[in-house]
């Protein structure tokens, strides 16, 4: 639907007598298309397309927002849906946890803005048949040995658009294109089973699926899963830990991203995902990590999964430091959380789809590069473990005590990578862990990853987030292996 047509539909409902005491009305139209291809063991397992399309209507009454969502984008349906949203706002306004003020005819938490955003244009084109053949080929190539008992490859090519219009004059149009690629091999020998995987979660470009280096990565997964079958178990000890960006993604996500969400700090999330050890008084003073820790909220990075120009409340998005020189500066709070907490925040008020209300989410949360090369980091370690690619993750409801596991590890002895280790795990507590950050890799070690499946909120939502990180070295970390 065009922005102008959506505006016409909004103008039609604006004049309804049932809505005369509505302070503000906004429409958020979202359409998202997926093309998903799954290959398994040399065969195609699934080819599917999906499209979800609808409108979220928000109405403010007495400082309270009520919402209603519909997949029927017609005059009649939007009239009925807007009245439903109005009644929710009106009824709920007697029991509001917070009332939101206005600046003229717009709520302070829904600024009047105009603008647009589009993902970087794809330079590659492909057909469904080609993508189906690609996932099959990857699973065939992964099967390098009879010990590899299962191979799997998944490609999700997504293409979405959203439009915001409001009675105060907001007009925003944004488009997103992205690719999720994942491939894995499972190997077995006797009673031992191991899995190794690789993939990408990027905005913009299908080019990565046509890059010849993809096949080197496929080969490496197959070789390393076989290597793991014969590897020693990760030892149990307290030691130095080098995390590659594939695992830093998870570490940043769980122990920096989630605890800094201001709606968690305000208690909205405590019945589901949990609370946070971070308190409002900690901003500006808490030494979250060592002085080498610099973390940004950055929705401007070209290829990261959660880059955009405006959040779903219309707040213009820009890069901000969350943690600088190890000190906590700013939380992940959208305009509603900023008003409630009186804390500085970011443009992170996001919804997973047209059928969910926006809440505080991560977007791109990045750990800024330092000055050390990969070789310098490894050479500095007398004894330690290097871990690659997340396999297991668990953290408490205050985001303190975590335990994470990886697919693949290497022992570091006297500054050199030596034996391969299987079933590597480590555990720790968030701020002591980050204060043990001893070296941060330079830009040559940076990689961009992310996840399409960050879960949160009631009603539940999964959303895409990006994380870019260099290689990092931590000291005094408890590591251990697997077993029953």
38, two tokens: 């799954």
| Closer residue to other proteins in complex, CB, 376/396 | 396
Give 115's strand partners: 172
CB of 343: closest distance to other proteins in angstroms?
17
Residues numbered 319 to 378 that lie near other proteins (CB under 8 A) are 355-357, 359
Residues numbered 12 to 51 that lie near other proteins (CB under 8 A) are 43-51
| Cis upstream peptide for 459 (omega within 30°) | yes
C-beta separation of 286 from 365 below 8 A = no
- Supply the DSSP symbol for 125: -
Residues numbered 409 to 468 that lie near other proteins (CB under 8 A) are 423, 425, 427, 429, 455, 458-462
One residue of 188, 290, 442, 475 binding other proteins per CB under 8 A: 188
One residue of 145, 150, 380, 447 binding other proteins per CB under 8 A: 150
The strand ranges marked E within 361-459 are 365-367, 383-395, 401-413, 416-422, 425-429, 437-440, 447-456
Judged by CB under 8 A, how many residues of this single chain contact other proteins?
89
CB of 1: closest distance to other proteins in angstroms?
13
For the chain, what is the radius of gyration of the CA atoms? 24
CB of 435: closest distance to other proteins in angstroms?
17
By the rule CB under 8 A, 52 interacts with other proteins: yes
Give 90's strand partners: none
One residue of 120, 267, 284, 432 binding other proteins per CB under 8 A: 267
CB of 482: closest distance to other proteins in angstroms?
4
263, two tokens: 């709606």
Q: Which residue has the tokens 């109005």?
A: 86
How many residues make up the chain in this entry?
484
Q: Which stretch binds other proteins (CB under 8 A): 211-219, 242-250, 271-279, 325-333?
A: 271-279
Q: Is the dihedral of CA 444, 445, 451, 455 positive or negative?
A: negative
C-beta separation of 406 from 424 below 8 A = yes
Residues numbered 55 to 74 that lie near other proteins (CB under 8 A) are 64-74
By the rule CB under 8 A, 158 interacts with other proteins: no
Residues numbered 81 to 110 that lie near other proteins (CB under 8 A) are 81, 84-85, 87-89, 91-92, 94-98
Q: For residues 224 and 206, give the distance between their C-alpha atoms in angstroms, rounded to a whole number.
A: 26
Residues numbered 291 to 310 that lie near other proteins (CB under 8 A) are none
């Amino acid at each position: 639907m065009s922005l102008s047509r959506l505006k016409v539909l909004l103008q039609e409902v604006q004049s309804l007598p049932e809505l005369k005491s509505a302070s503000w009305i906004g429409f958020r139209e979202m359409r998202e298309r997926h093309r998903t291809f799954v290959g398994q063991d040399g065969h195609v397992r699934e080819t599917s397309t999906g499209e979800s399309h609808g409108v979220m209507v928000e109405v403010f009454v007495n400082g309270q927002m009520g919402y209603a969502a519909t997949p029927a984008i017609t005059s009649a349906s939007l009239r009925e849906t807007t009245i439903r949203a109005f009644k929710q706002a009106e009824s709920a306004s007697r029991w509001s946890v917070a009332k939101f003020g206005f600046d003229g005819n717009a709520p302070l938490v829904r600024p009047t803005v105009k603008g647009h955003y589009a993902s970087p244009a794809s330079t590659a084109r492909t057909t469904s048949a080609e993508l189906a053949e690609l996932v099959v080929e990857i699973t065939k190539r992964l099967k390098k040995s009879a010990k590899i008992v299962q191979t799997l490859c998944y490609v999700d090519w997504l293409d979405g658009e959203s439009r915001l219009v409001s009675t105060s004059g907001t007009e925003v149009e944004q488009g997103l294109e992205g690719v999720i690629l994942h491939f894995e091999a499972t190997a077995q020998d006797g009673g031992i089973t191991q899995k190794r995987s690789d993939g990408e979660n990027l905005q913009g470009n299908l080019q990565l699926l046509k890059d010849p280096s993809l096949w080197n990565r496929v080969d490496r997964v197959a070789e390393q899963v076989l290597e793991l079958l014969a590897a020693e178990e990760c030892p149990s000890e307290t030691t130095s830990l080098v995390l590659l960006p594939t695992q830093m993604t998870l570490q940043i996500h769980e122990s920096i991203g989630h605890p800094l969400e201001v709606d968690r700090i305000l208690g909205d999330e405590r019945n589901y995902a949990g609370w946070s050890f971070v308190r409002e008084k900690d901003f500006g003073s808490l030494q979250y990590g060592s002085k080498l820790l610099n973390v940004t909220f950055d929705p401007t990075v070209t290829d990261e999964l959660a880059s955009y120009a405006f959040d779903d409340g219309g707040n213009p998005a820009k890069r901000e430091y969350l943690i600088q020189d190890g000190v906590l500066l700013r939380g992940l709070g959208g305009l509603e959380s900023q008003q409630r907490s009186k804390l500085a925040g970011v443009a992170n008020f996001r919804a997973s789809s047209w059928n969910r209300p926006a809440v505080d989410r991560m977007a791109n949360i990045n750990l800024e590069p330092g000055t050390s090369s990969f070789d310098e980091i490894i050479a500095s370690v007398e004894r330690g473990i290097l871990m690659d690619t997340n396999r297991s993750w668990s953290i408490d409801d205050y985001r303190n005590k975590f335990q994470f596991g990886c697919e693949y590890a290497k022992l570091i002895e006297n500054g050199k990578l030596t034996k391969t280790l299987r079933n590597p795990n480590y555990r720790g507590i968030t701020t002591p862990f980050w204060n043990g950050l001893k070296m941060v890799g330079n830009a040559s070690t940076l990689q961009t990853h992310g996840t399409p499946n960050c879960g949160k909120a009631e009603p539940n939502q999964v959303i895409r987030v990006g994380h870019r990180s260099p290689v990092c070295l931590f000291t005094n970390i408890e590591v251990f292996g697997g077993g029953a």
